[in-house]
Structure 1
């Protein structure tokens, strides 16, 4: 990839980023710093994604920027306590969350309890409906084969998910190209507008470009936008900015 190609890919990817800090030692000061990074000299990211306890902090920090506030529920283990998940979702929306990233109870799904997983998503969607977008994390690295990923994505979309998302970033295998492709194919087949979020392990411009190439192939070259495709990442933004600025320098100097 030449500097100008990397710069073009980075410019395309930057507005698709959900700038993320879900580290175990995250702090309120760190949340404010994350928000300060969300609007760059090359444009704004799509959203910041942080723990529910920092939603109100992000809401205050991002007024007027257009950057969405995403948070996680049932995270990271995808548990079975639906009542607790509903309460967590309600609190997050009340605090100002625009997007809810729900970990599907994927262990229940793998154990043959697909109906339980679907019901949890349906109930969280009812809380979100008209108030926040619902992005369902499938934890594709734990699901195994692409066919199982596709089945989970089909279930989540049928239950009302606005996005299907690969991963929490907390397991050994996170976003892979086959996982992204399986989710894109589910969205293409679902018969309504929906999106895909590739999250976990996407750190370089080449990583982002590869996932976007899959989106272009499956959905068409004009499909990916902040409303339909996201990258969940913590370190990617710095790589994108470096590539944009490197490409600008290369263009000015003719190499």
Structure 2
């Protein structure tokens, strides 16, 4: 795709249906959840999912009924430090309330510690996988905390071995969110998984140009037809406003793909 002229409108149109519109703020309440769900359904298409605290699942399910927008929630969030049985309970409650997707923070500190930590993390995630059943399980590696490429690669391999449906970069609760370097490692793990495994870029993605960089990586590593809502997501909040701004403009701004 290098050198191919595309527009920001083209990019925004591609990104919008891949968005997990997210709100995981301490001040979230019923009113903010209503606003989030209303924003998920736009005149130019709907987002893939909303991602919110477990307590707001029933409200979101009702608000988004019939829209095709999935309801995702988080467990073992944000530190990844709860014991597996507690996380399994969180998953069971979320599914009982109607969650369509579960974003689980892996016990990444175990991977960082070494000395059998990979196996402990894999066993933990395998229990989560069993609790999720057929429901999509996105595993948050917290790549900004792992930081080192070798640790990110190991964490990705652990998550894939435990049955992850998606590898997700970040919680958004540590200083370093998604980076192209971490994305490249994780997308390579998706490609080499031997089964369908998707990728979710989350943490600090706020504009269309940045989103385009991650799509270009996915096209390069996994193939130009690979990224779809079933395999690729952006976890963000402000990105939607940027997308709608581009899609609501008059003359399109031209950029070069793959920059």
With the length of structure 2 as denominator, give the TM-score of the two structures. Answer: 0.93
Please name the residue that 2:89 is paired with.
87
Structure 1 position 250 matched with structure 2 position 242: no
| Structure 1 segment 12-31 matched on structure 2, within 5 A | 12-31=14-33
Q: Structure 1, residues 60-104: CA drift from partner, whole Å, max 9, x if none?
A: 111000001000000000014111111011000110101000000
Partner of 2:221: 218
Judge conservation of contact 2:74–2:103 (CA < 8 Å) in 1. yes
Tell me which stretches of 4 or more aligned residues in structure 1 moved more than 4 Å: none
- SS of the aligned residue for 1:168 comes to coil
Partner SS, residue 13 of structure 1: helix
Q: Is residue 161 of structure 1 aligned with residue 164 of structure 2?
A: yes
Shift of the alpha carbon at 1:145?
Answer: 1.7
Could you say which residue in structure 2 is the equivalent of 1:124? 128
Partners in 2 of 1:95 and 1:118 — Cα distance?
Answer: 26
Please name the residue that 1:61 is paired with: 63
Q: Is the 8 A contact 2:111 2:154 kept in 1?
A: no
Alignment of 1:69-148 (within 5 A): 69-112=71-114, 113-130=117-134, 132-148=135-151
SS in 2 for 1:250: coil
Deviations 1:102-133 (A, max 9, x none): 00001111111111111111001101112x11
| SS of the residue 1:7 aligns to | helix
In the aligned structure 1, how far is the partner of 2:109 from the partner of 2:37?
Answer: 33
CA contact (8 A) 2:111 2:151 kept: no
Which residue in 1 is equivalent to 2:257?
none
More helix by share: 1
1:231 is aligned to: 234
Tell me by how many angstroms 1:4 deviates.
6.8
Could you tell me which runs of 5 or more consecutive residues in structure 2 were left unpaired when the two chains were aligned.
253-259
Counterpart-to-counterpart distance in 2, 1:222 and 1:159: 26
Which of 143, 159, 174 aligns to 1:171? It is 174
Unpaired segments ≥5 residues, structure 1: none
